Structure 1
Amino acid sequence: MKKHLIVLAIISSLSLSTVSVANEVTESSSPRSGKSEMVGFGTGAAIGAIVGGPIGAFIGGFTGTWIGKSVADEQELAAQTQQLHQQQDEIEVLAKRSEQLESLTQQHARVNTQLEQLKMAQQQKLEELAIGLNVQFKTGSSLIEPHFKQQLDDVVYAMSLAPDLKLDLTGYADRQGDSSYNQALSEQRLAEVRAYLVNQGIDESRLYSQAFGDTAPLQAEANLENNFFDRRVTLKLMSERGMLAAQ
């Protein structure tokens, strides 16, 4: 009995020393430094000594160490599991943002494609419209007839709806008379049409003009009918891109 008490006292002293050492080690190392194992060893040794004497003390000590290690492993596993869940949540958030960015990129590409198609359709429509935009004049005259003024008013309205539209004006004369006179006459007709458009509110920067006199007849043969169509100012509506391409 006396030996058992002595052993118990020694084991208790070892337990306290073990706990103290475990505390010191814990303060100078990572959270997983062995505190739980050391505490487990001391506690297990004390319980083992009471129950089974010296042999029980050693068995209890090792058992306590194993229990303490298991507790520490479970704590570390729980911390890693929580960290893993946080990382998975972050990955899901990043994945959703990536999907949203890809969707926006696709939408942007579709909008650009549609915009390009609209511009092409607009340019084609303008080219079709330009075929009939001619102001005809009487022989030797630069006066704009009333029914052609209505046509010019329609052009002004179209340009007011589309600020990016430009207007290409070209003046001509028939082959009657002197070429120098015909050149001056085509320039005067061009100036009259240009002035009318400006007076109706079209900025001059949107107008491009050039006169060719009698050098560009529509038909090779000069007669009454062909001369009538040669006395003209043509108007061609164009977008900014189309105007730059034509220059």
Structure 2
Amino acid sequence: MIKNISLLLILGFIATTASADTHWADYGGTPSMEETSSTFVGLAIGGVAGGPPGAIVGAAIGALFGEGWMAKKNVGNLQADLIASRMRNNVLRDETESLQREFLIAQQEINRMRTTTKIIPATLAVSPIEPCCDNTVLSMHFRSGSSEIEDNYAEQLASMIRLVEKMPTSSVEIIGYADRNGDATRNLELSRQRTNVVKQYFNRMGVKNSAITTLAYGESKPLQMIQSYETDFFDRRVIVRLIDSSQQMFSQTLEMPLEGL
């Protein structure tokens, strides 16, 4: 008889729990599998050990144990999320510092080039007999993997060609470079292509081949030892130098190239 009453109480409690589950689900608070399992285990153990009163007490204790277990699990998940967030923040901080260092290097290189390179204005009137423009330099930069002259250099190239025409003893030195991305052989060939494109531009404007010398260095002479996106831009360059042959020896005596064209 007692066993039957216990069974009825257990079944009744299960039905009540199922009904409560429905109410919880309606409010978005569905109990977890661990809570439900703990309640049933406590119910079963309490029923066996103490009959109907034991079943009720065991179910209550089981439910409390399940809630405590879930609370500890949630705390552990929150701690893991916190650690992951800190690690992501550290990575972002390191990347920011690296970008700042690269930007500083680029700024230093820009300042260096501003102080060492003469920029030719769009229009420049020079007396043919004055050697004022000896060693005048034009620095041209190229896109990655390209040997095409950018349109913004047209006026500066035209000014230099006018100087060549006014200086009968002048010669033009065209030196090509490449960045360090890719194969070294390919980069040497790319620097040749860039010098040839500039040379052909001078030829079309009436400058003879006898007045032009081209040199190609490939990736062998970077401006900075540390490679970055900014320094790669400055390494993809062609230097055009106007020299008065009557005033000095050709700059080839000052700098031995890897290969001349």
Q: What TM-score results when the alignment is normalised by the length of structure 1?
A: 0.48
More helix by share: 1
Larger Rg: 1
TM-score, normalised via structure 2 length: 0.45
